[in-house]
A and B are shown apart, each in its own frame.
Chain A
Amino acid sequence: MHQAIWKYKKVAGYLFILPAAIYLVAGCFYPLFSALKMSFYKSVATREVFAGLWHYGNLLRDHVFWSVTGHTFFFAGFSVLFHFLIGLGFALLLNRNLKYKNVWMGLQFIPWLFPMTVVACLWVLIYQPQLGILNNLLRRLNLSTLAIEWLNIPETALAAVTVANIWSFYPFFTLILLAAMQNIPLSVYEASTIDGAGAWSRFWYITIPLIRPAIFTSCLLDMIWTFRFFDLVWIMTKGGPARYSEILPTYVYKTAFYNFDFHRAAAIGGLMVIFMVSFCTLYLVFYSKSSK
C-alpha cells in the first residue's frame, strides 16, 4: 500500500520541479551560455563575425588583465582570510554558556544586515579625508602624516575597500563555525580534560579538526562569492585611482557598459568563469566526498 502511493505517477515529481527548473535554465544557464558564445564573436561594422579565441588571445597578452586579476585575488584572498579569523574568534567566544548569549550573537551580526550599498556609503565617509572618523582619530593621536586620502591613493585604495568588505561579511563565518562547534559532542572535551589537555591543545587537536569540513566549505563559498563581488569596489572607488583598485567584476562591467565592447567583456567573463569553475570543482569534489 505504502509503496503504491509513492510510486504513483513518476511524472508528478518532474511536474513539481519543472517551474523552478525552467526558471533556472532560462534565467541563469541560457544567459551564461549566450554570454560565453558572445565572447567568440566580434563586431565588424554592424555585423557580428565569428572570431574564435581572438578576444581571449588579446586579453591574455594584456598586462591590464593580469594586474586586474592580481587585484581580484588580493581582494578575495585577504577578505576570506580575515572573515575566517574574525568569525572563528567570535565563534570561539560565543561557544560557551554566556549570559545574554543571543544578544551578543545578534550584536556581532549587525554588519551582515547592512545592504552593501549602505556599507559602501558608510565606509566612504569613514575614509573621507577631511571629515571622516578615521583621519580625525589619526589627527587626534598626532599621526596627521597618516591621515591620507585612503580611497584616492594607489597603495591604499584596494586595501581600504578590502577592510570594508571584511567588516561586512565575517558574521557568515561566525554562524557556520559556531553551528559546527555546537555539533561536537561535549563528551569529547570531557574525555580530553580528564586526560589533562589544556585549553590550547583542546582547540588545536579537537575543535579545529572536527570543524575542518565547515571551515573548508565556508572558505570556498566565500572565495567564490568574493571573486565575483562587484558592489563595494564599484561604489567606493569605481576601480580607481586609475586602475589601482580594479577587480575583474568592475573590469567586465566597464568594458561592457562604458566602452560598449560586449564581446570583449564576455571574454573577460569567460576567463572569470574558468577561475571560478576551478574553485567550484574543488568545492564539489569536497562536497561529494563529505556527503558520502
Chain B
Amino acid sequence: MDKAKSDFIIYVLLVTGIFIVVLPLVYMILISVTPRSLLFLKLIPSKFTLEHYIKILSDPEIMACYRNSLVISSSTIVITLVLASLAAYGLSRYSFKGQGGFILMALITQMLPMEVLVISYFRMVKTVNLYNTRIVLVLLDVTITLPFSILILKSLFDGIPKEIEEAAMIDGCSRITCLVRIILPLSWAGLSATALFSFLMSWGEFLYALTFTSDHRAMPITVEITKMLGHYRTSWELVMTLGVLVVVPVTVIFATSQKVFTRGLAASALKR
C-alpha cells in the first residue's frame, strides 16, 4: 500500500472519529441558537436566535451562581498553587525522612472515595457553621487539586538545576526568595498547567457543591444547571444554552494553551 493511500485512510478514520465525538457538542450549540417555535423540528434550524443567551445572561440568580463558580475556582487555584509550590520545593530541594511517605500520601489522597469523605465533612461543616458558603467549597476543592499539583510541580522543580540557586544563595538570596524569584519564573509552563487542571477540577466539581450549598449565595453553576432539569417539563433550550456558557471558559483557556496543558498532564502521569 503506498503512502498517499494509507494517509487518505488515516484522515478518513480520524475525521469520522472526531465527527462522532464532537457531534454532541454541535447538537448542544445548535439547540441553544434555535428559536423556541422551531425547537426539535430539524437538527439545523432555518432561523437562528440569541434569545436564549439573553434570557440566561439577564437572570440574576443564574449569574450569581456563575460568579460563585468563578470565585470558587480562582480562590482554589491560588491556595493550591501556594501550598503546592512550597511542598514541591521542599520535596525537590531537601532530603529528609518521611519524604517517600508524603509522596505516597499525595498519591493515595487522589484515590479516596469522596462519597465516604463527604459523610465526615457533613459533620465538620455543621460544627463550624459553614453550610452554604463559598469558603467551604474552596476548602474542599483544594483537597482535590492539591495532591496532583504537588506531584506535577515536584517533577518540574526536579528538572531545574540546583546550581542556579546556589549561585543566587552565595549572593545572599534566602530560600523563599530563591523559590519566588528563580524557581517559579523558570517553571511558569508547569505552573499554568497546574492552574489549568485545578480550574478544570474545581469548575466541574459537583458532589461537594451539591451537598453543601442550597441557594445562589454559594451554589456554583454546575449544580444550578442540574436544578433546571425538571421532572415534567424542562426548558431544554435554556439548559443547553447554559451548558454552552459553562463549557466556554474551559474551552477558551484550553484552546489558547493546549500545548502547556497536554504536556503538563502527560508529564505528571508518566514521570510520577
- Please report the C-alpha to C-alpha distance between residue A287 and residue B108 in the assembled complex, in whole angstroms: 12
How near does chain A come to B50, taking the closest CB pair, in angstroms?
20
Contact A20 B150 (CB under 8 A): yes
* Interface status of B106 (Cβ within 8 A of chain A): yes
What count of chain B residues pass the 8 Å CB interface test? 92
B119 touches A269 (CB 8 A): yes
A44 sits at the interface (CB 8 A): no
Residue of B86, B143, B210 touching A28 (CB-CB under 8 A): B143
- A25 CA to B102 CA, complexed, in Å: 10
Does A167 lie at the interface of the complex (its beta carbon under 8 Å from any beta carbon of B)? Answer: yes
Contacts of B118 in A (CB 8 A): 253, 256
How many residues of chain A are within 8 Å of chain B by beta carbon?
97
Q: Is the CB–CB distance between A118 and B225 below 8 Å? A: yes
Instruction: Specify which chain B residues have a CB less than 8 angstroms from the CB of A105 in the assembled complex.
Output: 258, 262
Is A203 part of the binding interface, using a Cβ–Cβ cutoff of 8 Å? no
Indicate whether A265 sits within 8 Å of B119 (C-beta atoms), given known contacts A116-B206, A175-B262, A175-B265: yes
Chain B residue nearest in CB terms to A251: B115
**A285 in the interface (beta carbon within 8 A):** no
CB distance from A263 to the nearest CB of B (A): 9
A104 and B18 contacting across the interface, CB-CB below 8 Å:
yes
- CB atoms of B22 and A120 under 8 A apart: no
Min CB distance B221 to A, Å, is 8
- Tell me, yes or no, whether B44 is within 8 Å of chain A by CB: no
Chain A interface mostly:
helix
A13-B96 contact in complex given A20-B150, A23-B83, A120-B226, C-beta closer than 8 Å:
yes
- Once the chains are docked, how many angstroms separate the CA of A115 from the CA of B224? 13
Q: A31-B121, A115-B203, A280-B108 are in contact. Are A180 and B270 (CB under 8 A)?
A: yes
Asked whether, in the complex, the Cβ of B10 is within 8 Å of the Cβ of A31, the reply is no
B43 touches A15 (CB 8 A): no
| Closest CB in chain B relative to A274 CB, distance in Å | 11
- Candidates B87, B90, B207, B247; contact of A230 at CB < 8 Å: B207
Q: Could you tell me which residues of chain A, from 170 to 221, have a CB within 8 Å of some CB in chain B?
A: 170, 175-176, 178-180, 183, 214, 217-218, 221
User: A236-262: which have CB < 8 Å to B?
Assistant: 248-249, 252-253, 256-257, 262
Q: Distance (Å) between the CB of B193 and the closest chain A CB? A: 12
Contact B147–A24 (Cβ < 8 Å): yes
Across the interface, which residues of B come within 8 angstroms of A262, CB to CB? 119, 122
Minimum CB–CB distance for A231 against chain B, Å: 5
By the criterion CB–CB under 8 Å, are B17 and A176 in contact?
no
A131 within 8 A of B: yes
B84–A20 contact, CB under 8 A? yes
- Known interface pairs A27-B139, A90-B17, A266-B119; A20-B251 also in contact (CB < 8 Å): no
Classify the interface of chain B: helix, strand, loop or mixed: helix
The answer to whether the Cβ of B116 comes within 8 Å of any Cβ in the partner chain is: yes
List 19 extra interface pairs beyond A113-B254, A121-B225, CB under 8 A.
Answer: A5-B169, A13-B91, A16-B87, A23-B143, A31-B120, A32-B112, A34-B123, A93-B14, A94-B14, A110-B21, A111-B24, A117-B204, A167-B24, A183-B270, A227-B113, A257-B122, A269-B116, A272-B115, A276-B113
Question: Any chain B CB within 8 A of the CB of A57?
Answer: no
Nearest to B210 among chain A residues (CB) is A234
Q: Name the CB-closest residue of A to B1.
A: A199
Chain B's closest residue to A2 (CB) is B166
Alpha-carbon separation in the docked complex, A253 to B226 (Å): 17
A32 touches B120 (CB 8 A): yes
Q: Is the pair A10, B94 in contact by a Cβ cutoff of 8 Å?
A: yes
Q: How far is the CA of A225 from the CA of B118 in the complex (A)?
A: 16
Picked from A118, A230, A231, A276, the residue with its CB within 8 Å of the CB of B243 is A118
- Chain B residues near A110: list those with CB within 8 A: 21-22, 25, 251
Q: Is the CB of B83 within 8 A of A230?
A: no
Residues 45 to 88 of chain A near chain B (Cβ within 8 Å) = none
Q: Mark B58-93, 1 if CB is under 8 A from A, else 0.
A: 000000000000000000000000011011011101
Instruction: Find out whether the CB atom of A16 lies under 8 angstroms from the CB atom of B89.
Output: yes
Question: In this assembly, does A154 line the interface, its C-beta being within 8 Å of a C-beta of chain B?
Answer: no
Nearest-Cβ distance from residue A133 to partner chain B, whole angstroms: 6
